[in-house]
Structure 1
């Protein structure tokens, strides 16, 4: 019985994230943010496994990789890490400008960002599919630029929408929240289900992306990411017509 009592609120929280109450402050946004978290896992699996030791979403990793490269550690490229950081920063700037222009309606903020991100990831897929070898500079840096821009837009948009525990690209604070807010730590134990789903979404994207690279076509994670983004974009388009209270800026 104590175990069931502990599990029940986690399951309830997870269900509310996947099937949110329309009257909730964040309305239908949580499941879309979960889908974008899967996209993050897919594209970072692609970038790390096919473009060398570089991330296009996890900028903390690229800062660390830059230090490794300067120290002369094998397998790390300072130029690639800096390119990813620059592209991500440019994408975040673009995403921020877009969010501020559309801030009166959160559905429009999401839709505009997803249109841009989908186009960029689709372009990256075309490059990856038809421009080989991927590790060569002629393909590597355009891919880093396109994907860095896309994930910078996504991260800036997630920041603007501010759905709790669904940042789509960063899990450090999510994992910290599960432990530090738990009842074992003396906390309220809230949103554990949502946080667990966010971790699972990133893990799933990374696992599927890695399997696709290893056992299929290296460009397949980007195709899957494009399809997922296209679905999210269509969903977001329907949300632009909503006049619910969740659309109001925070």
Structure 2
């Protein structure tokens, strides 16, 4: 089997004796969630991201320059909510640092609650979302994505950050044999990019051809399944649960 395909397979179906145990497929599920949520935020809430903070920094510059369709207030609200979520996620991670399964489970409990609250608001509010409803959705989703990103940072599963693909794609090219490297872990990195793409694609199709709130429902279902899975993992004493 080619190395890239083997890397992709072991990411999707990991060796439980590996240093990261069952974490890689869970990180991929969270990457799909990122694609779903950013599809909703960008297409439904205006030109704003709730997971991709690089985009919001750039959008803030666009808004200050007077570019149409960009809101400085919305971008700053997303940045503030994400930072607050990262703070909460960091406190959870430091509090449960002795067990990586507990870190992820606690973060997922909070993220799932925030996602369900956002879905309820999105479903109960008429579109287009404006005023209080819009900013409530930005705040809840920004908090959720901040918590997720903090947990992913604490778990530190290589090439599976769940929200950032710039360095992942750079690694595929820069570490490739063509560039003189050792191969660049193209399989794992490509699966991560595919997960984000899938979330974005499904989210966009749902927004454009069904219900605007549907991506949040899909994200909540994925998060609920991951939360249930990680509950069982909190009882494990395998090597992967030890902090890095």
CA distance in 2, matches of 1:135, 1:64: 23
1:131 shift after superposition: 1.4
1:132–1:139 contact (8 Å) kept in structure 2? no
Query: TM-score w.r.t. structure 1 length?
Result: 0.97
Select between 206-215 and 187-196 the one with higher mean Cα deviation.
Answer: 187-196
For structure 2, the residue ranges without an aligned partner over 5 or more in a row are none
Count of residues paired in the alignment:
244
Does structure 2 retain, via aligned residues, the 8 Å contact 1:66–1:81?
Answer: yes
Which residue of 86, 95, 106 maps to 1:112? 106
Find the aligned partners of 1:35 and 1:177 in 2 and give their Cα distance. Answer: 21
**8 A contact 1:65–1:81 mirrored in 2:** yes
Cα distance in 2 for residues equivalent to 1:147 and 1:134: 17
**Is 1:148 paired with 2:136?**
no
Q: In the alignment, what sits opposite 2:172?
A: 178
Deviant stretches of 4+, over 4 Å: none
Instruction: Report what 2:205 is aligned to.
Output: 211
User: Following the alignment from structure 1 to structure 2, what is the Cα–Cα distance between the partners of residues 174 and 81?
Assistant: 25
Hey, what does 1:3 align to over in structure 2? none
Q: CA deviation at 1:138?
A: 1.9
Give the Å deviation of 1:132: 1.8
Question: Structure 2 residue aligned with 1:194, among 188, 197, 201?
Answer: 188
1:111-169 Cα offsets, whole Å, 9 max, x none, are: 00000000000000000000123431121000000000000000000000000000000
Unaligned runs of 5+ in 1: 1-6
> For 1:141 and 1:133, how far apart are their aligned partners in 2?
13
Match of 1:4 in 2: none
Which of 12, 20, 34 does residue 18 from structure 1 map onto? 12
Equivalent pair of 1:133/1:139 in contact (CA under 8 Å)? no
Q: RMSD over aligned Cα, in angstroms?
A: 0.7
Separation of aligned partners in 2, 1:106 and 1:136? 39
The separation in 1 between residues aligned to 2:129 and 2:215, in whole angstroms, is 16
2:82 counterpart of 1:84? no
Of 220, 228, 231, the match for 2:225: 231
Is the CA contact 2:173–2:184 (under 8 Å) kept in the aligned structure 1?
no
